[in-house]
Amino acid sequence: MFGFYKKSPAARKNYSDCSGCSLCLLVCPVWRKSRDVSLTPHGHAKALQNGISIAEVAASVKNCTLCMACEPVCPENIDIIGMILGLRRQQVLWERPPGRDRACRGQEAAPTDTSSTMLLPDQALHAHPNILARVAALLEISISEDDGADISLALESGATIAERRLQRFLDPLRKPKKIIVADGLLLRYLKQWLPDANTIGLGEALSGHVAVRRGLRATDLYMIEPRAYHTDYQRTVKHYDRLRADHGCAFNLDLQRIVIPATARNLPQRLGLAASNDEGQAHWALHGRNISRIVVESLEDLAAFENVSDVPVMHLAEVVQG
């Protein structure tokens, strides 16, 4: 199984190459919940191969949570996320609803210290200023004035990103030594837009910090954020294997070392247009485990577990003592 993962991004294929093997179903949270193959990459690919119109798969592509778990297991190396986002763009499924799109913070501002490490927070971190301040102090990093939240939402919803806006976002990011990105979808695209930049996800950055590692316990359930993890799977799997070897904590990984998401929010839920339904996923992640604490990389997971668990739930930045 692990042989699947030695794949080149340059050789990515499209839905016409889908063999119908169904491996993507095994890791897909939408499949786990719905048991409806039409809502999976397999279903999208077969529908398009059989001449179904793009409009007819509209309802199903919007249900994808973009957890990216299906890509590492696909033996055909299909660019599944690119396909799904492309279909959303063609369908113009979700124009950004007025008032739902948080205004971008200080779009004109550029980082002043271009030699530093820069943090791009996500909306959840902005909503928890204490944790954001803790993260910044711990990693000794500057917080970017422009977090690209509007760009991430446009990517996810299929809306157009104006070239000028994209360049205004990217220009200040060309010089920092390292860019730490809390939003896993934005991380994926930054790796494409700025291939020479040193970009990593926030969870990996924090879990690589000595004080955070010291704070982890063998009885923790450590919840990896799936988007950043699957974006750079071949490298991150080694990082978390080392973390498990050093600290013995349990992870939300399956036997193929694919992340099992605790939250399964589709686009309408992320836009606040439908109620989230994370309880089932969170219960499922806890089933059969004997743990004393839940440590999460994503603040979305923090909220999901606090609703269903009796053990303490904390963000990774909060495990540091003192």
Binding residues for ligand SF4 (CB under 6 A) = 18-24, 27-30, 40-42, 45, 64-70, 73-74, 76, 78, 80
For the bound state, the minimum distance from the C-beta of residue 108 to ligand SF4, rounded and expressed in Å, comes to 34
Tell the smallest beta-carbon distance from residue 64 to ligand SF4 (Å): 3
Task: Return the number of the residue (41 or 172) whose C-beta is nearest ligand SF4.
Answer: 41
Nearer to ligand SF4, 186 or 212 (CB): 186
CB of 178 to ligand SF4, least distance (A): 27
Nearer Cβ to ligand SF4, position 24 or 206? 24
Closer Cβ to ligand SF4, 24 or 295, answer by number: 24
**What is the pairing mode between strands 250-251 and 220-223?**
parallel
CB of residue 239 to ligand SF4, shortest distance in Å: 21
Distance CA(249)–CA(291), nearest Å, equals: 9
Looking at beta carbons only, is 208 or 268 nearer to ligand SF4? 268
CA torsion, ordered 125, 130, 136, 137, to nearest 10 deg: -160
State how far the Cα of 202 lies from the Cα of 308, in Å rounded to an integer: 25
In the bound complex, what is the minimum distance in angstroms from residue 41's beta carbon to ligand SF4? 4
Nearer to ligand SF4, 81 or 206 (CB): 81
253: DSSP letter:
B
Q: Which residue's CB is nearer to ligand SF4, number 48 or number 149?
A: 48
DSSP string, 185-220: HHHHHHHHH-TTS-EEEHHHHHHTSHHHHHH--TTE
Shortest spacing between CB 86 and ligand SF4, in angstroms: 14
CB of 22 to ligand SF4, least distance (A): 5
Q: Which amino acid does the sequence have at 97?
A: P
DSSP assignment string, 121-181: --HHHHT-HHHHHHHHHHHT-EEPS---HHHHHHHHHT----HHHHHHHHGGGSS-SEEEE
Measured CA to CA, the distance from residue 156 to residue 269 in angstroms comes to 12
262: left (phi over 0), alpha (psi -120 to 50) or beta: alpha
